Structure 1
Amino acid sequence: MSLEGIKFGVSTWLWTSPFSTETVSLFPKIKEMGYDMVEIPVEDPALIDVKKVREALEENGLGPIVCGAFGPSRDLTHDDPAFHQTSFDYIAACLDICTGLGAGFLAGPMYSAVGKARLVSPERKRAEWDRAVTNLRKVCQMAESRGLEIALEPLNRFESDLVNTAEDVMRLINDINHPAAKVLLDGFHMNIEEPSIERAIKLTGERLVHVQVSENYRGTPGTGQTRWEDYRRGLEAIGYKGAISIESFTPEVQELAGAVCIWRPLVPSQDGFAREGLQFLKKWAQGLES
């Protein structure tokens, strides 16, 4: 078996941050490299002219994937309900961007703020978990009313203390109990947290709507220690039909690099990262990477 026919995307975070209307200048290069999709991280919705971005997507024959960015002020588990409202307002703006661009879901770790990693009591964790469930059910209703879904992303232990594994995110989805709640799995986090990537993928099953990849060190796919055959076995087993996106970051944008702890260039060229990574993934999808 193979994954031939699957679509591949790349995050604009590989080159720049934050995404704005001007970032569409990357689209011709992304298409020329051979990508089918572009992943649009929405840090500030006000920076995005949806009509112009949609026109640029159509002109370059690229499909959109929209991801949220959940900094300290966007925390659905915070003690202060004002933070919940800030999150709802931001998520609503992102969902409207999804609708305007023709994306089917909003992805990201929207259950809590990224970087909220503490040792807390079981009672505290239960209270925050329950807040996440209650508030994400509301988010699912917001998405459903627009004909959309959400894709919840587990993060590694250094970036979240709430949802770290496929098992965690499936428990969260079961507690939310809403059909719009789906899953995004990111290989960087799985390489830290999962004993078996294949098992993690199988566990999410039909709920898995998006996959992000890079190497174990966030470098170019095919240059590190990732067990790519485990990805393929898992994705084939569940009949995965979503896209696979390369997500990594440029050290040239200091705020972004600091947030993801990239202190040195991972590659000589970000363009080379995108081009060579896609070449590897296309061979991998056909079972030819080794």
Structure 2
Amino acid sequence: MTKIGVHSFVWSAGSSREALDAVLTRSHELGFDLVEFSYIDPKQVEVSWLAGRLRELNLGVAISMGLPPEGDVSSEDPAVVTNGEAILDAAVALTRDLGGTKLAGILSSSHGKQEQAVTKRGWDTSVAAVSRAANRAKQAGVTLNLEIVNRFESNMLNTAAQGLAFIEATGASNVLLHLDTFHMNIEEADVGLAIRHAGDKIGYVHIGESHRGYLGTGSIDFPKIFDALVAIGWDDVVTFESFSSAIVDRDLSLKTAIWRDLWSDNVALAEHARRFITLGMETARLKADLVRQAHLPSS
């Protein structure tokens, strides 16, 4: 059965105990199965407390992040690559200590618009760094889920096919794809076909609308996406991600160009998203069942 997650920035961009507890409580009250946190600094958060609250509320957790320029593992500067690996290792440790198994996001390069295409050297450097990080993450029981994002947020992995080639090059069984419908809607020739082609190499899924607001109010063909997820037998987490200038994390808001209020009532937004995803997946399963039924005439 598909689990439904929610990004913490639907509720709050704060990292105080009060803010984090409100994120968990709201998510639990509205029936979500998992909360995704953008990377939080263990020096500013009592990780053991947060892990305990997640267990108390029976909530799963995922961590997402984008590498900063000073931690770009595709850099030609070895010191920057080394720093990037240290950042990945710290994020893996946080994921493990919170009781999670999925580290997701832009893990193969820095997050942000680049001024030139990635070079073969940069690609190879990133593959080697991610492979080493994945080997260490495997010991922690954590998968590295490489987010496929649009051209304005990375010059490395913009399509699922590029991600599959990267994964194959690492040779690591715990490096998987993190697919996001917002980004796929920009870059993929056919989002449904891309999902079917990626198949069992998908480790994490973000559901987001073309304008980052209410699901179903933009241009994305969600029935095709739900059909594809059912076709590949997806029974893991589908996490709702939405941003509005109503809830601002300065760094992420600038990098993802969040300039307007696409919603102000986050409870209504989240309730709608959970219903939308649940009904979408259920409808896709019913359609698949009808396709499989032979309906032979009785004698």
Q: TM-score, normalised by structure 2?
A: 0.89
Contact 2:67–2:110 (CA under 8 A) maintained in structure 1: yes
Q: 1:287 aligns with which of 261, 266, 283?
A: 283
State the secondary structure of the residue aligned to 1:184: strand
* Closer/same/farther in 2, CA of residues 141 and 41 from structure 1, 3 Å limit: same
In structure 1, distance between residues paired with 2:14 and 2:75: 25
Deviation at 1:59, TM superposition (A): 1.9
Q: 1:249/1:7 Cα in 2 relative to 1: closer, same or farther (>3 Å)?
A: same
Deviation at 1:101, TM superposition (A): 1.8
| Contact 1:18–1:44, Cα closer than 8 Å, also in 2 | no
Instruction: Report what 1:60 is aligned to.
Output: 57
Q: Which moved more, 1:158-167 or 1:74-83?
A: 74-83
* Aligned-partner residue type, residue 203 of structure 1: H
Q: Distance in 1 between matches of 2:161 and 2:16?
A: 35
1:119 CA drift (Å): 2.9
TM-score, normalising length: structure 1 = 0.91
Bigger drift between 39-48 and 106-115 goes to 39-48
Deviations 1:205-228 (A, max 9, x none): 111111001111111212222111
Q: 2:145 aligns with which of 131, 148, 151?
A: 151
The alpha-carbon deviation at position 116 of structure 1 amounts to 4.0
Q: Secondary structure at the match of 2:167?
A: helix
| Pick aligned residue for 1:180 from 168, 174, 180 | 174
Bigger radius of gyration among the two? 2
> Are the structure 2 counterparts of residues 85 and 111 from structure 1 closer, same or farther at C-alpha, using a change threshold of 3 Å?
same
Q: Distance in 2 between matches of 1:211 and 1:194?
A: 15
Corresponding position of 2:209: 215
- The alpha-carbon deviation at position 189 of structure 1 amounts to 0.4
Q: Which of 95, 102, 105 is matched with 1:105 structurally?
A: 102
Structure 2 counterpart of 1:97, which letter?
A: L
Partner of 2:72: 75
Alignment partner of 1:246 out of 240, 245, 254: 240
Who is 1:42 aligned against? 39
Q: Residues 15 and 44 of structure 2 are in contact (CA less than 8 Å); yes or no, is this contact kept in structure 1? A: yes
Deviation at 1:47, TM superposition (A): 2.4
CA separation of 1:224 and 1:61: change in aligned 2, threshold 3 A: same
Candidates 258, 261, 267, aligned match of 1:265? 261
What does 1:227-238 align with in structure 2 at a 5 Å threshold?
Answer: 227-238=221-232
**3-state SS, counterpart of residue 109 of structure 1:** strand
The answer for unaligned runs of 5 or more in structure 2 is 285-299
In 2, the alpha carbon distance for the partners of 1:248 and 1:46 equals 27
Aligned residues: 282
Per the TM alignment, residue 137 of structure 1 is displaced from its structure 2 partner at its CA by 0.7
Percent of residue pairs identical: 29
1:4-15 alignment runs, 5 A limit: 5-15=1-11
Tell me the SS of whatever aligns to 1:85: helix
After TM superposition, the runs of 4+ consecutive aligned structure 1 residues lying more than 6 A away are none
- Gaps (5+ residues) in structure 1? none
Other-structure match for 2:133? 139
Cα distance, 1:13 vs structure 2 = 1.8
User: Is contact 1:19–1:48 with CA below 8 Å preserved after alignment?
Assistant: yes
Cα 1:144–1:254 change in 2 (3 A) is closer
2:287 alignment counterpart: none
Hey, what's the Cα distance between the residues in 2 that align with 1:127 and 1:246? 35
Amino acid at match of 2:122: E
Question: How far off its partner does 1:254 sit?
Answer: 5.5
Distance 1:197 1:19, change over 3 A: farther
- Cα pair 1:222 1:277 within 8 Å, conserved: no
Secondary structure in structure 2 of the residue aligned to 1:286: helix
